[in-house]
Amino acid sequence: MLYSLIRKFFFSIDPEIAHGLGMNGVEFLKRSGIACLLTKPVPPNPVTVMGLTFPNPVGLAAGLDKNGEHVDALAGLGFGFIEIGTVTPRPQPGNPRPRMFRIPEKQALINRLGFNNQGVEQLLVNIANARFTRRGGILGINIGKNFDTPIERAVDDYLICLERVYKPASYITVNISSPNTKNLRELQKDDALDALLGRLKTEQTRLADKHGKYVPLALKIAPDLEDAQIQSIADLLRKHRMDGVIATNTTLSRDGVQGLPNAEEAGGLSGAPVFERSTAVLKKLSGALAGELPIIGVGGIMCGADALAKMEAGASLVQIYSGFIYHGPGLVTEIATALAKAGNSKRARMYSATATMVECPMPKGDNSKALPPF
């Protein structure tokens, strides 16, 4: 109930301003020790993926904390792992505002942020004193290319970021699927992806020798892929012995939101409407990989049943972003509890079957039609 009141205030103001205030609020909860007002203890449910042991399988997706400024505060909300970024070699402002839009009727967001971030060097400064990693917390760092780097030189930007974040990262995500950087998704195509993964794996080997530790590499893909593309990506992931894959990023489709305010804004759509498309890609990718690589499922998770459906489709871990915006920190506990109770694949199948039949409820106290669709 408390978060529904907080959300009503946030949804009455510009999304980017609300985001800044929200992150300040998370920091206040940490400093004051009252996070318990918005969340409950998360049950332990350790799982080993990519050679890392996660205390629970519920993570925060990249994008909420682009510069790694709030790692410790976010960790206090019960996440099993946190992914920061996307970060680029040089600072960049991103696309012009406005660039974030809500579609509250469908628990959806559209963004065209464009990798706005302070650059990789500032991110390293920001996370240097984070207690989360010193205490064994799992921190993923999501890397991308600068908007003005020609696509034919994109690999240079990824290699710069890989070298700089390798030491502090628990794992590194290669983001080639944002729809908001011109031509970025071209890197998902056969020859370009083959070349990129080859260079990254060579550098990973060099850095592992240099630092005396192996940091897993994961690839983040789009939901807007044909079956042949999914198979091709799976083949290249196996060929280059990638450590994991994240399925999926936001979609360019507007299925499920047509005709609603803001639906025609340019950018990537996230939230509840992307769930089916994202989960379908995840399932097909899981079949193509045949268990050779773990998958992190993300896209439209709004309740515990959604997360269980992702697991049944083939995910080993899940991440949330839009669901966190709409449902608040309590969603972390809800999902973690549902996954812990499921316990085994048979139970997970039972829950996921429910998820396909029952739509996740709207946030408690929701009055979305009365909220300004900023």
What are the distances in angstroms from CA 40 to CA 29, 82, 264?
A: 13, 18, 37
What pLDDT, in 10s, does the model give residues 117-168? 999 999 999 999 999 999 999 999 999 999 999 999 999 999 999 999 999 9
Catalytic site residue from 177, 178, 316, 322: 178
What pLDDT, in 10s, does the model give residues 83-96? 999 999 999 999 99
Task: Please give the backbone phi and psi of residue 335, each rounded to the nearest 5 degrees, phi first.
Answer: -70, -45
Non-local (6+) Cβ contacts of 350 within 8 A are: 342
Task: Kindly state the tokens that stand for 20.
Answer: 């800044």
What pLDDT, in 10s, does the model give residues 187-246? 999 999 999 999 999 999 999 999 999 999 999 999 999 999 999 999 999 999 999 999
Instruction: Name which of 64, 83, 272 is nearest 165 in CA terms.
Output: 83
8-state DSSP, 42: P
CB atoms within 10 A of CB 172: 24
Q: What angle do CA 283, 285, 290 make, to 5 degrees?
A: 95
The strand pair at 47-49 and 52-54 is best described as antiparallel
First to last CA, the chain: 23
In the residue annotation, 178 being an active-site residue is answered as: yes
The domain 2-366 having CATH identifier 3.40.50.920: the answer here is no
Q: Is 265 exposed, middle or buried (0-12, 13-18, 19+ CB in 10 A)?
A: middle
